[in-house]
Amino acid sequence: MSGPLDGVRVIELASLAPAPFGCMMLADLGADVILVDRPGGSALPGIPPRSLQRGRRRVTLDLKTDAGMTDLLRLIEHADVLVEGFRPGVAERLGFGPADSEKINPRLVYARMTGWGQEGPFAVRAGHDIDYIALAGALEPLGRPGETPHAPMNLVGDFGGGGMLLAVGVLAALLERERSGRGQVVDAAMLDGSALLTSFVRGMIDSGQWSRTRGENLLDGGAPFYDTYATADGGFMAVGALEPVFYSELLAGLELDERDLPGQYDRDGWPSLRAVFTERFASRTRDEWTAVFDGTDACVVPVLSPAEAPGHPHNLARGTFESADGVVQPAPAPRFGRTQASMPDPPRAAGVAEILSGWSNL
């Protein structure tokens, strides 16, 4: 079956991490994504591109030459979406900025993926995920009390606040185009997206439910019933028993009597409660605790490594991971009842003439 974006034509100017992830999502949904790479490629040494570049056809164009720019403009003329991840002003200087592109294709959705956005004093500065989430207020709360803030890899800035925000913006602009008949610019910034992801925490701060000290709150590791615990074999269990009914099942699995413990939401008792949980989890292996909590609503599961996750029985039953191009990858998500696309093919080389010939038949 074809995905829900079947027939949508996307041009992706090669970049790193956030925009490729957003375009991977579009390809997963069935869009025809053309990756325009520069001579010599664009990947950083040691970073394999195959998973983020799945579902693409790749053309190599030198945009600093007249021939390369001519080919790009020919593609833009027939595309629905263009995605670029340059610093502000670069596309304009090369000759395919929003104003130039609109002249040849007024229906084009022009999506721009940057760290800081298109304006502001930081707009032209370099940066990476850790910088964007720091300025967005998303990094400072992450970590244990008294320790330095800890970046959660590059999941928040690059992918959640970046690529996924880009994909949402493109989809919204395509939907609006059905009413107006016109394209528009999508300005997706990792700073903005990272700030957006903190909406829930900001609501808790506003209502007085969040301490300004990291690691002392309900969802940041401060609560002993929402944390991870080491097991006898060096593994870890994740505990998320927030509601009293789930907390009761946690205590039952740990063979603890609630009458002998501080109240669940008695913050003064959290240190002693954590000590009890720490000692109890350390008494058995991860597999043993997994068996204890299997089939319960205690909200306790093993902490799996990326290598282990594809082999978990639930992930296998769900088909959460698939193997493609020799790489185990997350399967396309979300899923659709009528227009679910299969795992996109690995990237392959193509020529501009071949692409335009196929697009002319759509």
Q: Which two structure tokens, joined as six digits, stand for 180?
A: 């107006």
Q: What are phi and psi for residue 28, nearest 5 degrees?
A: -60, -35
Which among 247, 255, 329 has a CA at the least distance from the CA of 53? Answer: 329
DSSP string for 318-342: HT-EEEETTEEEEPPSS--SS----
Q: Are 81 and 108 in contact (CB under 8 A)?
A: yes
**Residue 333 contacts by C-beta under 8 Å, 6 or more apart in sequence?**
28
185, 190, 212: which is closest to 201 by C-alpha?
212
- Rounded to whole angstroms, the Cα distance separating 342 from 30 reads 9
CA–CA distance, 328 with 351 (Å, rounded to integer): 28
Three-state DSSP state, 248: helix
SS3 193: helix
Q: Residue 110: how many CB atoms within 10 A of its CB? A: 27
* DSSP one-letter string for 102-148: HHH-TT-EEEEEESS-SSSTTTTS---HHHHHHHTTSSTT-S-TTS-
Which residues are tagged catalytic? 128, 158
**Collapsing DSSP states into helix, strand and coil, what is residue 226?**
strand
Give CA separation, 244 vs 218, 237, 268, 298, in Å.
14, 19, 18, 10
Residue 159: partners with Cβ closer than 8 Å, 6 or more residues away: 17, 18, 21
* 3-state SS record for 48-103: CCCCCCCCEEEEECCCCCHHHHHHHHHHHHHCCEEEECCCCCHHHHHCCCHHHHHH
**Residues 265, 267, 271, CA angle at the centre, nearest 5°?**
115
